[in-house]
């Protein structure tokens, strides 16, 4: 999609001109992928503010053929290290990703020569906040792979007493691969019984038992984009306390989804869901922020939390994932991935949020 990447670089060049930068040296590999489509493990990009024809991509000889295919529309340099190779070409005010440069990267100072190095942290990440339609489609595909994998797991008896958390996690991950995922978006969480009260429990050999909550937090990776979804099930019959907290979390999640409107403060979205849980006396059992951005990273801006900064804009992809966790007993989290739209948000994770007993 050279035209997509060229359009993104055009938006970036406008930002550079607004900041009176002559060029930006992009060294973060995710930002490089966003701007060029390159998926290798070594590369950099020098983006010129005035003319994309002067922008230069660099990688090493291992990616000679791959870069010809993935980056056909830019001048290409085969060299290493790429950051210093491109810095030597820069003139004027050269922005660099100061939030990504290590101590070893200080060689840039010498390589830049007469160019003036200017801190330019987060410029590309600011663009990545708003997903274009190519990104949303990749997210849709990732969410669909996860939805289908979960449906297959349940349909074929994958959630049953006697299986271990690890067995369920591997089963679910394999099913995502079968439905087109390149891999899991992150380490799958399967948490049964009392373990479901641990927000980020890592699956173990713990055995699923009748009466357990089973919390599944997982996602699929498609074209570099991550889905993220949590569903909580009950094995066998449902106890009154389980139904009570499940319905509470479901109500809070609905309130959070309903607050996803263009121009809303991210902290207010968190507050909308948190107020429901606090009103029921479980405020101390909601142990994390409401959600986060998702895209080329499974956790990226914006942060939907009490301390989150900024407002929602159309095209932002976010999760909404309230939870109630009762230590030693069990917990519930319900999570969706959604895209903020001018009207109602677009829901990408379509698995039912009704209480499902298996």
| Domains contained in the chain, CATH given | 2-128 (3.40.350.10), 133-357 (3.90.230.10)
User: In the predicted model, is pLDDT for residue 194 greater than 80?
Assistant: yes
Distance CA 276, CA 253 (A): 9
What pLDDT shows up at residue 104?
A: 67
Closest among 72, 223, 88, 214 to 144, alpha carbons compared: 223
pTM attached to this predicted model: 0.95
Per-residue pLDDT of 334-344, as tens digits, reads 999 999 999 99
Per-residue pLDDT of 272-289, as tens digits, reads 999 999 999 999 999 999
Integer angstrom CA distances of residue 217 from 14, 287, 315: 39, 16, 24
Distance CA 131, CA 80 (A): 32
Distance CA 250, CA 252 (A): 5
User: In the predicted model, is pLDDT for residue 250 greater than 80?
Assistant: yes
User: In the predicted model, is pLDDT for residue 110 greater than 90?
Assistant: no
User: In the predicted model, is pLDDT for residue 105 greater than 70?
Assistant: no
Answer with the residue of higher pLDDT: 163 or 1: 163
User: In the predicted model, is pLDDT for residue 112 greater than 90?
Assistant: no
CB 36 within 8 A of CB 28: no
Per-residue pLDDT of 6-32, as tens digits, reads 999 999 999 999 999 999 999 999 999
């Amino acid at each position: 999609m050279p035209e997509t990447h060229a359009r993104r670089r055009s938006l970036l060049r406008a930002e550079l001109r607004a900041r009176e930068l002559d060029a930006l040296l992009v060294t973060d590999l995710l930002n490089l992928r966003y701007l060029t489509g390159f998926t290798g493990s070594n590369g950099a990009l020098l983006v010129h503010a005035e003319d994309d024809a002067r922008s230069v991509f660099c990688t090493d000889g291992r990616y000679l053929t791959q870069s010809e295919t993935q980056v056909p529309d830019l001048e290409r340099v085969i060299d290493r290290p790429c950051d210093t190779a491109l810095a030597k070409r820069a003139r004027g005010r050269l922005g660099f990703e100061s939030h990504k440069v290590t101590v070893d990267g200080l060689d840039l100072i010498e390589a830049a020569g007469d160019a003036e190095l200017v801190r330019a942290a987060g410029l590309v990440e600011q663009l990545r906040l708003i997903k274009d339609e190519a990104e949303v489609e990749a997210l849709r595909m990732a969410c669909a792979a996860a939805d289908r994998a979960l449906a297959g797991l349940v349909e074929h008896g994958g959630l049953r007493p006697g299986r271990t958390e690890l067995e369920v996690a591997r089963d679910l991950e394999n099913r995502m691969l079968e439905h087109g995922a390149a891999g899991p978006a992150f380490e799958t969480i399967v948490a049964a019984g009392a373990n479901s009260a641990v927000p980020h429990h890592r699956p173990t050999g713990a055995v699923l038992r009748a009466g357990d909550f089973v919390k599944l937090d997982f996602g699929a990776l498609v074209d570099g984009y991550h889905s993220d979804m949590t569903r909580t099930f009950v094995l066998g019959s449902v106890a009154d306390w389980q139904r009570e907290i499940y319905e509470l979390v479901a109500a809070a999640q609905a309130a959070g989804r309903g607050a996803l409107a263009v121009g809303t403060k991210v902290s207010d979205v968190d507050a909308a869901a948190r107020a429901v849980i606090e009103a029921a006396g479980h405020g101390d059992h909601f142990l994390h922020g409401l959600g986060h951005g998702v895209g080329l990273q499974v956790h990226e801006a914006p942060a939907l939390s009490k301390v989150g900064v900024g407002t929602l804009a159309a095209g932002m992809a976010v999760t909404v994932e309230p939870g109630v966790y009762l230590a030693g007993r069990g917990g519930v989290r319900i999570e969706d991935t959604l895209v903020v739209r001018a009207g109602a948000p677009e829901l990408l994770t379509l698995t039912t949020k009704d209480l499902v007993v298996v």
